Structure 1
Amino acid sequence: MIKENVKDRIISAASELFYFDGYNQTGINKIIEKAEVSKDSMYRHFRSKEAIAVVYLEQRHKAWITDMTNYLSVKPAGQERVIAIFDYLNHWLSQVDYRGCGFQNIITDIPKNQNSIKEVVRKCKDDMLRFILDELNKTSSESMDTKEISNEIMVLIEGAIMLSQIQKANWPLVAAKKACERLLK
């Protein structure tokens, strides 16, 4: 078995702590302890907790998008794939006891001066919005305003994720899927 290098152990430890405990509730010492590294080693790889969070979010986004696109790949491109996003969300969130979106969780938990985190969150959400738009453009009629509908679907997705976290249930995802289907009729 290959042992993770120091940088990977730090990211792995921080990822779990940021997602399940929260960004503000996770201090550098907690990351160091969980990663089983020295403070010196940690600072050789990362200048700050914010720098760790940026890498965490980038890696989380890449893994999440890959998982989602793999899940959706069995659906026909276009509107059916967009609607199936809600099935994926239900699949994913039920596996983490409706803990919610790591990006939503961290953006509400960071000090206002941590702009690099905000930029990564914005970029990742923009990638998701672009995915929806690209899929809708594959099968939609010319009369459909795919940009506006993509924005509306993105709001449904983000709201459903947050409400499912609050309710610890999947009914917000089911309701959002139905709303999405009505939007696309």
Structure 2
Amino acid sequence: MKESAVKDRILEVASRLFFEQGYNLTGINQIIEEADIARATLYNHFDSKTDLLLTYIDQTGLQRFEEMKKYIESLSTPKEQILGLFDFRIKRQQDLAFKGCQFIKITSEVSRDETAVFDLVQIQKNRIRGYIRQLVNAVEHHSPLSDELFADMVFLLLEGGTTSSSIYRDAHTLASAKKVVEKFL
């Protein structure tokens, strides 16, 4: 196997395990076994489990953002695009059996001392927040809030609805959050 293919395989296995069973419950030995590689091969590509986690957060964040952006940009109007954020998350949560947000899950597992992890998760969330601000700037809303506060409200309802959907294992909270935002559009 080529070097990049081996690295991709390691990351693919680790990503699946981190998301499905959690970072703390995923051991290096399990990653090595499921990726069918030698221990030295893993460490040739990643300095540590934390290094593997940071790569996972970075790559997954970019992939998820691009998926969301592609979906949103397929919608015609700014109003549809803002509401489409919720539709995208609802579909994603349904497809993933309401397992929640991989980034929130990770931050609940690692120590607060893992600042690089929290910094990278913040970058991922800020990318989404910034995109929502762009969408809000393109739409007329009937909210007493400024565009910035309205965008923050949409972001918080989207994030809170996603977290709640994983707790309740249904899309009701995301659908309710969408209705709240729709009242202002």
TM-score range with shorter-chain normalisation?
over 0.9
Number of aligned residues: 183
The code of the aligned residue for 1:19 comes to: F
For 2:138, what is the secondary structure of its paired residue?
A: helix
Backbone CA RMSD of aligned residues: 1.9
Contact 1:10–1:31, Cα closer than 8 Å, also in 2:
yes
1:79 deviates by 3.1
> Distance in 1 between the 2:40 and 2:107 partners?
28
The code of the aligned residue for 1:138 comes to: A
Which residue number corresponds to residue 163 of structure 2?
Answer: 162
> Distance in 1 between the 2:155 and 2:122 partners?
13
Which residue number corresponds to residue 47 of structure 1?
Answer: 47
Which residue number corresponds to residue 26 of structure 1?
Answer: 26
Contact 1:140–1:146, Cα closer than 8 Å, also in 2:
no
The code of the aligned residue for 1:172 comes to: T
Matches within 5 A, 1:1-185: 5-140=5-140, 145-182=146-183, 184-185=184-185
> Distance in 1 between the 2:165 and 2:148 partners?
26
1:154 deviates by 1.0
Normalising by structure 2, what TM-score? Answer: 0.92
Normalising by structure 1, what TM-score? Answer: 0.92
The alignment-based identity, stated in percent, is 27
Mind listing any 5+ residue stretches in structure 1 that lack a counterpart? none
CA pair 73-115 structure 1, distance change in 2 beyond 3 A: same
Q: Which moves more between the two structures, 29-38 or 15-24?
A: 29-38
